Every structure is written in structure tokens, then in C-alpha cells.
Amino acid sequence: MTLSIGHFIAGQAEPGTGERSGPVFNPSTGEEIARCPYASRATLDRAVAAAGEAARQWGRASHATRQAVIFKLRELVIANTDLLAETIGREHGKTLADAKGEIGRAVEGIEFAVNAPQVTKGEFAANVGGDIDVFSLRVPIGVVGAITPFNFPIMVPAVMMTMAVSVGNAIVWKPSEKVPSTALIFARLWQQAGLPDGVFNVVQGDKDMVDAMLEHPGIAGVSFVGSTAVGEYVYQKGTSHNKRVAAFTGGKNHMLVMPDADLESAASAFVSAGFGSASQRCMAVSLLLPVGEETADRLRELVLQKTRALHIGAYNDPRADFGAVVSLQSKQAVERAIGTCIEQGGELLLDGRGLRVPGHENGYYIGPTLFDRVTTGMELYQQEIFGPVRGIMRPASFDEALAITNAHEYGNGAVIFTRDGKSAHRFMHEIESGMIGVNVPVPLPAGFFNFGGLRRSKFGEGHLYGPDAARFYTKIKTVSQRWPEPDQQAAPVSLAFNPKG
């Protein structure tokens, strides 16, 4: 099956005529299913010009007009759940059930975007002096460049861009070249929802297009989700071109388990949060930290039992708990990481290398892999491994577990399982992570809270969704206003500084 992939500019699909392109694979089979054309800088210029013109009109549209589009988009996304899930599964490799779960979170983000009028209200002070009133306005920044990852082809774009559109901006979006098709479906849904042409544009591409967007003078702000190395580059280069940038990057999320915890529940939570979507999630739990040897020994056996029961299969296999990783390169990188951990002294409990799924022997599959006795000197602790490789560490105390977690450069999420309120309270206040779970395996906040990590898990002051996202996509104007009486005498000339008018 060959898919038709291209760009979407000013309300029109374009096949893409650039000299460069890249393959798109079905990870479940290893088959090349399409070519993705990479846009030239001239194509980007046209997209930004269309977005700039549309932004001027859309930014002046009433809140009611904008919210009507957002409401309609929500209904269209729900109505097209099966189409979106099939497209995501075919190009990403995640199961259809997982893809539908992602779509559900996308809808949650769309729903919050209708709150734009509430979260962008300004301030007002009457008669600050001399009958002068002062008030602030939040206005759209203009054209937003969106750069999104392969692992959430609809959720990240929806929560990122719906608020940007809702507060009056236009979009130029570069999706991951690994999963390009969902972007075109989403663009059509925006159009069907009544969004004016030019407000939402898609340009396919790779790193060259990222650079072009970061340099383009017509793009006022950039929102990025991806790896830490690339995110730091995007932040530094984008801000050097005087752009507003929010880059959401890697995670190495720790799960502390206290001796008093319900270990059965903790084990289920770790396996679910650790291996879902073949562990290709920035909020996946990477490392299990049972406190004390007895807790570690008991929890290890429970985790092994539950992990061995996982079924790996094609994205459309209803029995599959998770599917393939996204590419052959990803598979090879994960397998190298397994070998490195063995060399560094990790105790290999389960080895997922060499997995073959019957009927899909060329797919990019790796079985669940589990190490025990991981230490801070190992790559498995230090690096984010975007594949189903998880580890158990053995802190002797709660304080040591806190220290291990806070010593990591990432601060996306952290989790504790305990029945003790004091331990949970200390954890919440002392852990340096942006999103924290207490007896919750994945501390992914609801769409009406801010999403964002700390330390090297986020660059810039924006948030991916929540109230602060609306603030990121708007700029403040402060107005000082006085209306004199019709017959008031003109004030005499005065060169003295008078803050009270």
C-alpha cells in the first residue's frame, strides 16, 4: 500500500515537489509504505506568508467565533477516532487501543482550549492617579512554529496547537517525518470545523526544516517536543533569533516504592507505566526504586511475573499489550543499550532481543527487557532509552532513593507508592520533578493543569498545555488611558517626571 503524503498550505493539500524525501515505514511489518517529501525553504516561506496573513484576521476574530471552531473540532476528532487510530498504529506501531487512548487525551486538550477567554483575561486598575485607568491586554503573538515528535502523532499536536489557535494565532507545523499522515488528517479536520484557510498549515521535513523554522523572521514563537539534545538546540537557536521558545524534552522517571506500599498494585503500575507503547513515552516509568532489600526482592518477583505475561504483536493485533518500536534504527539503538548494560554489570532478568512475531518477522520488535541492580554509574540510569528496557535499583533508605532521583539531570516525572502520608509529603516537596505521582503510575496531569518538567526536561518558561500555555501564546500590552472632560483646560507644559499624571 502506497500512501499519498505532502504538505497543507492555505487550505490546500500539496504533493510536495522538493528534491529531498524520506521513507515512511510500517513498524509492525518493516515495510516501506510511503515517501515523505521534505519541504524547501521556498515552501516554508509560502506557508509562513499564508499563516501571517491569516493570523491578522484570525487574531481579530471574536472569542465566540474561535470557540465555535474548537467545539466543532472536538466533535470531528471523536467522529474520526477509528481513522486516526489506524493511521497512528500503521506509522507508529502502537496498538489501536493505545492510539485510541492517545486520542482521548487529545480531546481533553481540545476541550480545555475553549477556556481561552477565561485564562487570557487581563488586569484593570481604575484611577491610578490623575483620572488615569490602567489595564492590560493579552493578544496573540502571530505565527507559531510547531515541531512535534513521532511518539504522540495526535495528542501532542492537539494539546499544543489548539490553545495557540484558540487565542488567535496561526500555525506552521512540522510533524515528525516518521509519522506524517496524521498531520494531514488533522489539518482537514480543522478545515471542516470552519477554521479559515491559512490559520493551520503543515510542512513536512527533517532537521533542515527545523533550522529553517528557527531562522524564519515570520515565526514569532516555537513550541517543540522531542529529545533533550534537539530541544536544547531548538531553544538556543530559536531564542538567538528573538523567538519565544518552549521545548519539552527527555525524561527518566523514577518510581519509589516504600515497604508499606501495596506491592501488588505497585508492580502492576510499574509494568503498565513502564512498558506501554513499547516504552516510547517521555512520561514512562524507567526505573523502579524499592526501598530496602526485602521490598526489592518481593517486588522483583511480582514484576517479573507480570512482565512475562505481556504479549507483543502488530498494531492491529487485539491481544497485543504493546507493539514494535518506531524504526529499525530505534530497534538497533535499544539493543545496543541492552548490551551496554550487561557489560556494565546489570543483572539481566528478561532479554527482549531477538523477538520474532509470527507473520511479521521483519517488524521492529523488542520484547520487554528487565535489569536488576542498576547503579547510577550505568547508562541505563543516565540515559533515556526509548524502548522497552526497564531497571530496578536498590536504595537502602528513603533518603537514598530521593538522592538517586534528584541526582538525575532530567526532572519530567517521579512517582511514589506508599501508605504513609509523611513520606508522600516529603516526596512532593523534595523531589525536583515537574509532575509528581502519589500512588499514581503516570503523573500526566489533566488538560486543565500545566504540563512541563524541570531541569533538563524543559527549556523555556512555557507549558505544553494548561493555563500557562495560553500565556505562552500571547503577549501583554499595558494601556494607560485618560478621558478629559469636554471643556477641560489643557495642562501646562511640564518636564518633571510625574508618575501620577
Closest of 38, 277, 261, 245 to residue 151, by C-alpha: 277
Q: Which residues pair with 134 in a beta bridge?
A: 125, 480
Q: What share of the chain is helix, strand, coil (3-state, %, to 5)?
A: 40, 20, 40
Find cell 523534595 and name the residue. Answer: 430
| Contact call for residues 233 and 209 (beta carbons, < 8 A) | no
Q: How many CB atoms lie within 10 A of CB 343?
A: 10
**Residue 269, number of CB atoms within 10 A of its CB:** 23
DSSP string, 5-40: --EEETTEEE----S-EEEEEETTTTEEEEEEEPPP
**Would you call 341 a catalytic residue per the annotation?**
no
Selecting among 225, 282, 337, 464, the annotated active-site residue is 282
Helix axes 181-192, 81-92, angle to 10 degrees: 160
491 phi and psi angles, rounded to 5 deg:
-70, 145
State the Cα–Cα distance between residues 394 and 295, nearest whole angstrom: 9
What letter does residue 434 receive in the DSSP assignment?
S
**H or E stretch including 458?**
strand 458-459
Say if residues 188 and 182 touch (Cβ distance below 8 Å). no
Handedness of CA 51, 57, 62, 68 (dihedral sign): negative
CA distance 194 to 70: 9
- Collect all residues with Cβ–Cβ distance below 8 Å to 489 and sequence separation of at least 6: none
Which among 444, 453, 448 is positioned nearest to 119, based on CA atoms? 448
Residue 310 C-alpha cell reads as: 505481556
Active-site positions read 282
